[in-house]
Amino acid sequence: MDDNLKIVGKRVVRSDSYAKVTGSALYTADLKLPGMLVAKVLRSPYPHAKIISIDVSGALKVPGVKAAVSGFDAYGVKWGVFRYTQDHAMLPTDKVRYIGEDVAAVAAVDEETALEGLSRIKVEYEPLDAVFDPVESMKDGAPQIHNEYKNNINIHVHIDVGEVDKAMAKAYLVREDTFKAAGEAYAMMEPYAVVASYANGYLDLWMPNAGPHVRAKALSNLLKIPLNRVRVRHINSGGAFGGRSEVAPGDLVASLLTIKSGRPVKLVLSREENATSSRQVHDIVATVKTGMKKDGTIVAKDYKVIYDGGAYSSTGPIATSIPFYVYEECYRFPNVRYNGYRVFTNKGIRGMYGCHGRAFLAGNEAQMDMMAKELGLDPVDVRLKNGLTAGEMTATKSKITSCGLKDTIIEASEKTNFKKRWKKKEKNRGIGMGCVAIMCGFPMGFRSGSSCYVKINDDGQVTLVTGLVDNGQGNESMVIQVASEVLGVPMEDINLVNADTEVTNLDPGAYSQAAAYVGANAVKAACENVRKRLISIASEKLGVPESDIDLKDRIAYSIKQPDKRMPISWIAREAFFRGEPIVATGSFFPDIDFEREWVTRPWGQMAGTFSFGTSVAEVEVDYETGKIIVPRFTAAHDCGRPINPMAVEGQMEGSIQQAGIATITEGNMWYRGFLLNPDLLEYKVPLACDMPEIDTIIVSSHDPKGPFGAKEGGLTVRMNAYSAIACAFTNATGILFEELPLTPDKVLNLLEKNKGVK
Amino acid sequence: MKKEITFNLNNEETTVEVDPKWTLLYLLREVLNLTGTKEGCGYGECGACTVIIDGKAVNSCIFPVLEAEGKNIITIEGLAKDGQMHPLQKAFIEKGAVQCGFCTPGMIMSAKALLDEKKNPTDEDIKEAIEGNLCRCTGYVMIIDAIKSVAAGR
């Protein structure tokens, strides 16, 4: 069937777009329930302080305030993704650890009353010394943020493969550099919002989330309510990018308030609160030491990377590891040592970003170019020489099953005339290349797989039930397209019921890049089971063998005698008559080594497959003002077979904005625990006029286990676009960057420090 | 103290009691249930709340509600006519200009104000018209394509 696809691989209109262009698509803040209250949160004004007391009784005296809560009304449970990272109470009772932390909350009949209620809450604090820099935080004598973690080291990931020191000693060329990068703001257009409604022991919740099942599980733990009484429901999400993966403090706040008041509660964060108190991206400092042979072969890598983890563990071990893994899944490292430290500071809670670790990736790639230049080689050849190929193992023992890395390097470099332009560059202009691999899923225990349930209704229309979630990237439309292909019915005949924890089965969610490879594979499996039943009945009714039957345009027909045909709706009715309606489930569970653990056993198969990509940026550097202009950006991506090329290109273009242009504009700025740019005027999200000319290339490839050969689509660009810009800057100026973002002030400093460098 | 105002909303004369403290966005979303217009920031930086007032694209989140008196206001809900989508809505769908969709209504309203004013906008005109509308998903490429295709098709 693969060779003769009817709709998979076609540029189809997304199923969710009609509602979104007419304004009828509902997002959390649009919801209105009868008797619904408005919630507001009282936040910590201190970066670090002991809580002496919290008294919410004053709020309750305000007419119209229906509930007021603090951590003392919660159940004493702390959240953490892992058993060893459970340190986040969401509403603390011992001390506050960042400015903007949730301390107490009220629910009232309207916003004004809620704010009046907040003003009556009394909190007594005893301010403590705070620490804001992760390097300072690791030193002896620094203020201790959590008692359990010595030197504020939350997580230490240590990987040691081969004999790094020996290989380094024998290398022809060794170079060590240190790079820094400010964390970014997710700046999703929809500020965080949650609606919670509790009645008769059942809790319903709506919020933008990238994994409804993991969210429900976290709330079930925090609220001590069984899973089948905590229902996270489907709602549109105005962007996630990694920032909607974990349970949010607001989820607990809204839940406690609805339980207390017995009325539905809506909490909508302001733009500033979304920046200070939802999640932020890790700032990092990366030291990269590389040993190369004379021919450009990498013989050893030695890393020390410090992640500013903010106040709590969050996805700690994963966040501390991912930047390294997406790099080792791309290049061959016979000897490698990685020491990743995630360190607590008195800053906001952190999460994964579609591309966190930019200093790490961009630093590696820009350093590689400097070394190539020294050896008289060019970046294309060095990348081709060191790039992994299908069948190889990564340093930490993940097998690469399909790999189009080489094709992406060649196509992107040929399209941009890279080799020639890198060597003979024009004045103040440069070109640079970044490569990366992305794991399509990662170990999440039994939550790593997905299941789907399909039924054919008596009019032949299809209902698809899956836990898969869409944060705007097009996952919903993707699985409808897959089902349409398998079942031979148009996309508009398929109704999707998804991302609702009470009616769907487990799904890993959208944050481990698993939606296409895992979620769509489960949908395909379920639809194939339905297809078998449809064909079996059609074969019997039409009197032709099953192998002679195909499904197309709502019809089952004989391939050899096309006049022998019957509508799928008739088959469905026949099945109902037989008391065996056409329903089926299907599941997909990726080949992952579940012995693998992020800290204690960092080796084994990471994911079922990996996507690959190469980005090429062209830059102009203004030596007078320090401003970098990006006239053109080219990205090539191996996403297996793209299910909807238009959707993949959209992801790639968005990534060029969010990671590529971000290299020169975006970064959170801090002063003693205050986020200085929590809004969209000071935090520079690129505008239409900031965007370069863009060329996206999807290289043709086919993953043996992906649904119709598909893999993750789009994220490689989000990870390697930084590298491309940083490398182009190096090519233009001869200077290695030290710190991202490359804003004019930092560029001028670099130019001044390196005067005379060619 | 509430006050009565009258204005034309999506081709219908509308009279409502408002609190002078409200913004137009509050009236649209919370009172009139027109939630297609989104609030992304609340102070005129992101453009998600864009509506058209007397032919101009305006951030409704910083537009005092009393100023709506006597005005002609169009929101995303008022674009389709007789069950037919506006050409911009169709183009946004067909060109893949919609991802998470949160900026989409505001983006379409800014584009409409531009196309109503200029017959043949250049690429620069389009970029300028939507420079107050932030999008975090698309890189703007397909949005600009969609707007261009409508301009070219008339």
| Interface contact flag, B101 A16, Cβ < 8 Å | yes
The predicted pLDDT at position A1 comes to 43
Strand order in the sheet with A202-206: A65-70, A102-108, A37-43, A265-268, A193-199, A202-206, A230-232
Distances (CA, A) of B73 to A2, A449, A588, A716: 51, 49, 50, 43
Closest residue of chain A to B94, computed from CA coordinates: A13
Tokens describing residue B84: 């037919």
Cis bond upstream, residue A741 (ω within 30)? yes
The DSSP symbol for B60 reads G
Q: Which residue from A minimizes the CA distance to B80?
A: A22
Hey, what amino acid is at A418?
F
Structural domain that includes position B56: 3-78
What local confidence, expressed as pLDDT, does residue A518 receive? 97
How far is it, in rounded angstroms, from Cα A345 to Cα A98?
8
Distance from CA of B22 to the nearest CA of A (A): 12
- Burial class of residue A588 in the structure, from the number of CB atoms within 10 Å of its CB (0-12 exposed, 13-18 middle, 19+ buried): buried
CA distance A652 to A689: 18
Whether the model clears a pTM of 0.80, i.e. scores above it, the answer is: yes
- Judgement on whether residues B65 and B12 belong to the same structural domain of the protein: yes
CB contact under 8 A, B108 and A21: yes
Dist CA A658 CA A721 (whole Å): 9
CB contact under 8 A, A691 and B103: no
**What's the mean pLDDT when you consider all of chain B?**
97
Note whether B140 contacts A691, CB cutoff 8 Å.
Answer: yes
- Taking CB atoms and an 8 Å limit, are A25 and B48 in contact across chains? no
Alpha-carbon Rg for chain A in angstroms: 27
Whether residue A595 is predicted with pLDDT greater than 50 in this model: the reply is: yes
Mean pLDDT of A292-313: 98
Asked if residue A506 has pLDDT above 70, the reply is yes
> For residues A381 and B144, what is the distance between their CA atoms, to the nearest angstrom?
36
Give yes or no for B138 touching A (CB within 8 A). yes
Domain count, chain B: 2
Q: Are B18 and B72 within one domain?
A: yes
Residue of A18, A650, A656 lying closest to B96 (CB–CB) = A650
CA distance B138 to chain A (A): 4
Q: Report the pLDDT value the prediction gives residue A425, as an integer from 0 to 100.
A: 87
Percent of chain A with pLDDT over 90: 97
Q: Give the start-end residues of each E strand in A546-659.
A: 549-552, 555-558, 565-567, 583-588, 610-621, 628-638
Same structural domain for residues B66 and B97? Answer: no
CATH of residue B140's domain is 1.10.150.120
Cβ neighbour number for residue A217 with a 10 Å cutoff: 18
Which of these three, B24, B51, B78, is where a domain ends? Answer: B78
Provide mean pLDDT across the span B92-110: 98
Using one digit for the tens of pLDDT, what is the confidence trace for A136-168? 999 999 999 999 999 999 999 999 999 999 999
Mean pLDDT of the residues in chain A = 97
What pLDDT score does A2 carry? 53
Statement to judge: residues B36 and B94 lie in one domain: no
Domains and CATH numbers, chain A: 2-24+449-588 (3.30.365.10), 31-128+189-239+244-278 (3.90.1170.50), 280-443+595-753 (3.30.365.10)
Give the nearest partner residue to A188 out of B38, B136, B140, using CB atoms: B136
pLDDT the model gives residue B1: 83
The answer to whether residues B91 and B67 belong to one domain is no
At residue A354 the predicted structure's pLDDT band, cuts being 50, 70 and 90, is confident
Taking only the tens place, the pLDDT of each residue in A188-223 is: 999 999 999 999 999 999 999 999 999 999 999 999
Confidence of residue A355 (pLDDT cuts 50, 70, 90): low
Q: Count the residues in chain A.
A: 758
User: Residue type for A72, please?
Assistant: F
**Residue A441 structure tokens:** 């899923």
Domain co-membership, B60 together with B100: no
Q: Tell me, what's the pLDDT at A545?
A: 98
Q: Are residues B100 and B67 in the same domain?
A: no
pLDDT of A693 reads 98
Last residue of a domain, one of B49, B78, B107: B78
Does A758 score more than 80 pLDDT? no
A239 vs B104: CB contact, 8 Å cut-off? no
Record: contact A30-B77, CB cut-off 8 A: no
Using DSSP bridges, classify how beta strands A555-558 and B56-59 pair: parallel, antiparallel or unpaired. Answer: unpaired
Q: Do the beta carbons of residue B99 and residue A650 sit within 8 Å?
A: yes
Across the interface, of A190, A647, A679, the residue whose CB is closest to B102 is A190
Instruction: Find the CATH number of the domain harbouring B31.
Output: 3.10.20.30
Q: Do B57 and B116 reside in the same domain of the chain? A: no
Q: Let me know whether B8 and B74 are in one domain.
A: yes
Determine the distance in angstroms separating the CA of A707 from the nearest CA of chain B, rounded to an integer: 22
Q: What is the mean pLDDT of residues A26-34?
A: 98
Q: Are residues B144 and B91 in the same domain?
A: yes
Is the Cβ of B70 closer than 8 Å to some Cβ of chain A?
no
Q: Which of B78, B97, B121 is the last residue before a domain boundary?
A: B78
B16 and B71 part of one domain: yes
Instruction: Write the pLDDT tens digit of every residue in A453-494.
Output: 999 999 999 999 999 999 999 999 999 999 999 999 999 999
Q: Measured between beta carbons, which residues in chain A are less than 8 angstroms from residue B48?
A: 189
- Asked if residue B138 and residue B109 are part of one domain, the reply reads yes
Q: Do B40 and A241 touch (CB under 8 A)?
A: no
